[in-house]
Structure 1
Amino acid sequence: MATLALAVTDGMLHFELSLAYEVFGTDPTGVADPWYSVVLCGPRAVRVGRFRLEPDHGLDHLPRAHTVIVPGWADVEVDPPADLVDAVRAAHEAGARVASLCTGVFVLAAAGLLDGKRATTHWVHAEALAARYPRVNVDPDVLYVDNGSVLTSAGKSAAMDLCLHLIRRDHGSSVANAAARRLVVPPHRDGGQAQFVTTPVPAPDNHPLADLFPWVIARLDQPLTVEDLARQARMSSRNLGRHFRSVTGTTPLQWLLTQRIRHAQELLETTDDSVEAIATATGMGTATTLRRHFNRTVGVPPDTYRRTFRSWTGPGADDGADDGGRRTTG
């Protein structure tokens, strides 16, 4: 039986820890052999959120595990405990596969396991990770990254995606899909899929473009240009660009494209409209144009995105067989 160790210490996030324990704690089919023997490894009784946990073993047990999971780390502004970092490094050197969930990546980075490698975390913490560990190639736009023996995920639901990905690697798609059905979650979201973070519309009363944003959102089906936006805002194109950069952190065209993609996501999730119809409704013009921009921005084609969100809702749903054209990581 393969040992899967959850590395715990004070300051871990209880959501990611509980999620991993739930995913790996039970064989959803009753026939996968060997299934995981899940153990908690920590230096002592630890505080995780509002809970007190008694680990099964000390951190020195980590090198005996086949897989080590490092849950989210609460305070990313301080260095993770040296004993945890050393134990995770020792486990990897002993041959263990090591995966982090959300901000657990800071532990892996401190251990040097991500030097020269691509990694991800929750987009909120990506900048801090890149600044503290410049040798890590931080990608804030994906759900998870598989480097073989070292894996990292973004936060919350992306941590679930990575856990199911590990089951798929170890036991195949049918077992991973059974686990997803038991947990009532999508059976597969590719790691290269974006974290679905879209450029928000700022508060309506605290910037010079307050009236422009809702005007644009109501006209996404139209072929708007920078000149159109500048005319509506009653300013020059250059002045518009300066205000956009100040308010949104990006250019008018990039912001407009993000809103079109965001609207396309909503239509794919909530309607049965064809890709051609959605291209028209979002101002993309043609299905080819929509597919190109959608795939580049989100990381998967529109059809794959729709299946991800709409094919898993019941027992008769699609098992999430592999789709052609998906990006892979690692």
Structure 2
Amino acid sequence: MQTIKPIIGITMGDAAGVGPEIILKSFEHNLVHESSRAFVIGDASILERAKGFTGSTKSINRISHPSEAKFERETIDCLDLNLLSEDLPVGQVSPEAGNAAFQYLAKAISLANAKEIDAICTAPLNKEALQKGGHMYPGHTEILAELTGTKDFSMMLSAPNLKVIHVTTHVGIIDAINMITPERVLHVIQLAHDTLTKAGIENPKIAVCGINPHAGENGLFGYGEEEEKVIPAVEKAKAAGIDVQGPLPADTLFFRTVRGDFDIVVAMYHDQGHAPVKVLGLEAGVNITVGLPIIRTSVDHGTAFDIAGTGKADEKSLVEALRQAVELAPKK
């Protein structure tokens, strides 16, 4: 039986950034057409403008519902919300673009909740513009959680030879340490195990970072955070049959994981997990929100206002995000 290609909704993100350009460039890749039925949720006029930045010759097909999409190689279907003027300044923080980025995502979530698309793939938004546009969220992940009614979720970053899942993300370091609890750490370990198992990795090997340097080194660093917050979770996960080790020193753990010792790392806070992935290359990383009732993948880079409008932005992360959206989408 032939598998039906999944329908992927690509949100434009912040239209003043590189999102429109990397979307146009992505549709030049055979992978996008051969593995999925992808269309854009955004502003068609902005895509038309971005053709001048990238040299794309694709025609833009304005649609009002996914059922109207053509899914043809020389056409890019755009569910046109018509929120922005085509003279929107490029490379600048804009409340209008921030609001539009939110509306694109809200529309995608509505379609996914209604099973009219199989997965969402997001181009980057700008947090300052988002909040100036009236939407007080730290980023995509928190919007997705609220609009799907999800309370327990986590951010997973995926790059070649390295997957990282986070206990906390977009909060300050002091707040992050306060938010780390044995219950939260255990839940993220379970999310890591379940996600990789569904992806076909039997009995995945999971490593858990310490909070302090050298994972506290038996109380030498910190105030017993590992003993209070991490060790009880690891012990419960082991008792449940999960192959997990930790807390381990973060300064060597990521090297060991890239070497092949582990399948995924549980990071305690944003920079602990993000920095090693981004060292491997911004074009290689993909952001996946784990724990949602819908599939969402994203580029792991920002709006790159400094090069927006130049056509220089690299689309490889978006192509990889699309590929992983296809892999994770329900099979039909």
Mark yes or no: TM-score above 0.5: no
Pair member with larger Rg: 1
Q: Flag the structure with higher strand content.
A: 2
- What is the TM-score normalised by the length of structure 1? 0.34
